Structure 1
Amino acid sequence: MTTKFYDRLSNDLTQLLENPIDNNVKIEVGEEPTSQIFEVHSYILQSRSLYFKKKFNESPFNENHVKELKMPNISTKVFNMIIKYIYGGTVSLENLEISNNFDLLIASHELELDELVEHLQNHLVANNSSWLRLNFSHVCQTSFRKNFEIIQKFCNDIIVKHPDTVFESENFNSLPEDVLISIIRLDDLQLEEDKIWDYVIQWGKAKNPTLPADFNEWTSDNFLTFKTTLKHCLPHIRYFNIPSEQVVEKLYPYYQLFEPRLLLDINTKLLVSEKPISSTILPPRNILNAMLPSNLITDEHALEISSWIDRKEILYTENNPYGSKNGFDIKTIFENCDKVSKTVIVAKVKGTREIIGGYNPLEIRNNVSAWYYSKDSFVFSLKTKNLNNSILSRVTNYTAAIYYDSSNPCLKFGNALNFYANLKTGRKCFCGTDYYEEKIRSSSDKFKVEEFEVLKVSPAQKN
């Protein structure tokens, strides 16, 4: 029987780090003037990290028989955690900001600390999924590195169900080619093939800003340049699953991108569908037959509101105790949600694409007529196709944060967001500026509500 005294070993090696006797390496970490020098031992670092083994083989000793390295791209806070892991085999993530956890993952990958890379991925997915979603574009691009399978699976699970998180993001056109290819190869991607084609074309044009803006002015050389840009993407489009009318409308204008055999087979399949062809036919994507329930807000909207609620990056889940299916009268909100606290009211303004709402941390009160105090309530207007950025407006007059009146039915967030009577038939709702930081609608006109939801906020369950 072998007895293992790992705790004592870890403690002794950590003490060696704190009192670096016989150190022969100096590593300058971070950027000046806040950089820090770490005095360490080459034999420990190279035995724990292939990265350092390679670096020490490349780096000569100076006249004092010390190797000197610079690592400006890693913060001192992150490197301090890494060096403690290397010496003592311990890492503590509880009090670390989530963004630093992710930085630690990136640095651990660079230093080829595979054990730590796997642990950090599992920790982030299990405990910080909301932060990963809120920073999805950056996380997604990072996930396609070697040994990031856990984060990559997390991202792929989101992409296949909610492809807009990538394809409609501001950073889509800057996606690296390998990331885009990895996405369009997904069998479960819930997106019609002709839409995938549209996005690939959009991405390719963004990579060639010098191409004529007017497609009709493209020359053969322009098409050749464009084809070169897309040569690794084009084989992953499932051409034979595109409806015939979309083939004519979307593929034919770009016929110069296709190899002659593929173009012939596309035409053959279109005209004589039963005739055999020689091109590879990729299987259709596994599009779900059952549509997901439609909500006023997207997952990304919910996460954005969640971060506002907690003033951090903590995910909350929402259950919908009440919505427009129950009627549009404010009085029924009081009756259905009496004594329910921590709610988000979301409304779609009739005749527009605007989605506005407010967070109320207090209990909703029925049979009262009074103002209530809150430091945490806020109103908002969410980013949509006609609004470039979401607007957040927090309460400034705490004593007039929330107003309930069930006798003359109204629910008010100060004067910033006012819901009155029947939201659908009565044009009485309006947005002002009093008691909150800023106005969430450019118009002061009164409006009707087309749809609305009252969402209960509750802490998310850990995966």
Structure 2
Amino acid sequence: MISYVENQFLLHHYTYLNENFLDIVTIAFQHEPWKRLQEFCLDHICPNPSIILTSTNFLSYSEAIFSGILQRDDLVMKEIDVWDMLLTWGINQEPRLGEYGEGNMISQIVEKWCDEEFETLRDRLKNCIQFVRFSDISPEDFFVKIRPLKNIFPEDLYEEILWKFISPRNVIFESKSFDVKNGFNLSRIRKHQVDTAIYSYANCGPQWGGNDLRAWGSFNADCCQCVHYRYENAVRNNPDLFSAEEFEVFQLVKRI
């Protein structure tokens, strides 16, 4: 019944949904079973997150909205801006936590906090923080905007994040990078041509294109292979298996 109602609503009341979008967002995420309506909202928000960032309802949005946004790969937003969005939403709801925003350093805000304030923010962000892709944040931003909030992180998560910044083997900044230790956590990549997209499979690993470049098993063994399939040019002319301890990803620049 819920699915039928959602389908009818999306098919026959599309104009109404768009004209009242911000109210629809709030209502959709108040009802966990309304998956299609939630997906409709996320499809509109992710290409243009300013829709909610500039909304007068921003601070009243539910945690479920932000959790849904953060789990999307098509969110057009820098990861440090994602972090700022969460802090603005999490801190500014509670006057005693202070006011976070442009011109207000997080270190200046938290220096006035005691354990209770950290616990309040930790509880507010606990179901969102795990979806932030910290490996896409620069060391400078980590030091200024994340390190002062160490106390809101689960200890094991913070240690894992910290390790990415102190171990040069694990981090590639300003690129479309992957976390080889935790299932190749994809950066937020907008990819509309699915034939050449990057896929990640739990039982094997990442695949570029179809099998144009794929990896599976242990990176210490011959478990990588390139087979010319989807891409215009072959990634590697030799189809033999090879090993790789890590991938190095470069930014491609179009020649003029």
- TM-score interval (norm. to shorter): 0.5 to 0.7
* Distance across 2 between alignment mates of 1:158 and 1:193: 19
Equivalenced residue count is: 175
Q: Does 1:181 align with 2:67?
A: yes
Aligned-pair CA distance for 1:125: 2.1
Aligned-pair CA distance for 1:167: 2.5
Q: Does 1:138 align with 2:23?
A: yes
- Residue in structure 1 matched with residue 77 of structure 2 by the alignment: 191
- CA RMSD between the two structures: 2.8
1:187–1:285 CA contact under 8 A, matched in 2: yes
Instruction: Classify 1:179/1:134 alpha carbon distance in 2 versus 1 (closer, same or farther; 3 Å).
Output: same
User: Quick one: which of 4, 9, 12 aligns to 1:127?
Assistant: 12
Q: Does 1:161 align with 2:47?
A: yes
* Distance across 2 between alignment mates of 1:275 and 1:120: 47
1:207–1:229 CA contact under 8 A, matched in 2: no
Instruction: Classify 1:231/1:282 alpha carbon distance in 2 versus 1 (closer, same or farther; 3 Å).
Output: farther
Q: Judging by fraction of residues, say which structure has more strand.
A: 1
2:79–2:137 CA contact under 8 A, matched in 1: yes
Q: How does 1:106-121 map to 2 (within 5 A)?
A: 114=1, 117-121=2-6
1:190–1:288 CA contact under 8 A, matched in 2: yes
* Distance across 1 between alignment mates of 2:78 and 2:55: 18
| Structure with more contact order per residue of length (Cα contacts < 8 Å, sep ≥ 6) | 2
Query: Equivalent residue of 1:210, what SS?
Result: helix
- Residue in structure 1 matched with residue 134 of structure 2 by the alignment: 239
Deviations 1:197-232 (A, max 9, x none): 111111111332222456032223321222122222
Aligned-pair CA distance for 1:279: 8.0
2:17–2:24 CA contact under 8 A, matched in 1: yes
* Distance across 1 between alignment mates of 2:161 and 2:127: 19
Q: Does 1:170 align with 2:72?
A: no
* Distance across 2 between alignment mates of 1:208 and 1:271: 34
TM-score (norm 2): 0.59
Instruction: Classify 1:225/1:154 alpha carbon distance in 2 versus 1 (closer, same or farther; 3 Å).
Output: closer
* Distance across 2 between alignment mates of 1:120 and 1:230: 32
Q: Which has the larger radius of gyration?
A: 1
Aligned-pair CA distance for 1:133: 1.8
1:265 alignment partner AA: E
* Distance across 2 between alignment mates of 1:179 and 1:227: 17
Q: Judging by fraction of residues, say which structure has more helix.
A: 2
1:188–1:285 CA contact under 8 A, matched in 2: no
* Distance across 2 between alignment mates of 1:282 and 1:208: 36
Query: Equivalent residue of 2:46, what SS?
Result: helix
1:228 alignment partner AA: D
Q: How does 1:43-58 map to 2 (within 5 A)?
A: none
Aligned-pair CA distance for 1:160: 1.7
1:240–1:281 CA contact under 8 A, matched in 2: no
1:224–1:257 CA contact under 8 A, matched in 2: yes
- Residue in structure 2 matched with residue 251 of structure 1 by the alignment: 146
Deviations 1:73-126 (A, max 9, x none): xxxxxxxxxxxxxxxxxxxxxxxxxxxxxxxxxxxxxxxxx1xx4444323323
TM-score (norm 1): 0.34
Aligned-pair CA distance for 1:272: 1.6
* Distance across 2 between alignment mates of 1:149 and 1:263: 32
1:173–1:203 CA contact under 8 A, matched in 2: yes
Q: Does 1:283 align with 2:185?
A: yes
Deviations 1:149-205 (A, max 9, x none): 332221121122111112321111101122221222222212111111111111111
* Distance across 2 between alignment mates of 1:159 and 1:206: 21
* Distance across 1 between alignment mates of 2:120 and 2:32: 30
Q: How does 1:75-114 map to 2 (within 5 A)?
A: 114=1
Instruction: Classify 1:196/1:203 alpha carbon distance in 2 versus 1 (closer, same or farther; 3 Å).
Output: same
Q: List structure 1 segments (4+ residues) > 3 angstroms apart after TM superposition.
A: 117-120, 275-282
Aligned-pair CA distance for 1:281: 6.8
Percent identity between the aligned chains? 25
* Distance across 1 between alignment mates of 2:180 and 2:116: 28
- Residue in structure 2 matched with residue 201 of structure 1 by the alignment: 87
Structure 2 portions without partners, runs of 5+: 100-107, 172-178, 193-256
* Distance across 2 between alignment mates of 1:269 and 1:143: 36
Aligned-pair CA distance for 1:259: 2.9
1:205–1:211 CA contact under 8 A, matched in 2: yes
* Distance across 1 between alignment mates of 2:150 and 2:75: 25
Instruction: Classify 1:152/1:221 alpha carbon distance in 2 versus 1 (closer, same or farther; 3 Å).
Output: closer
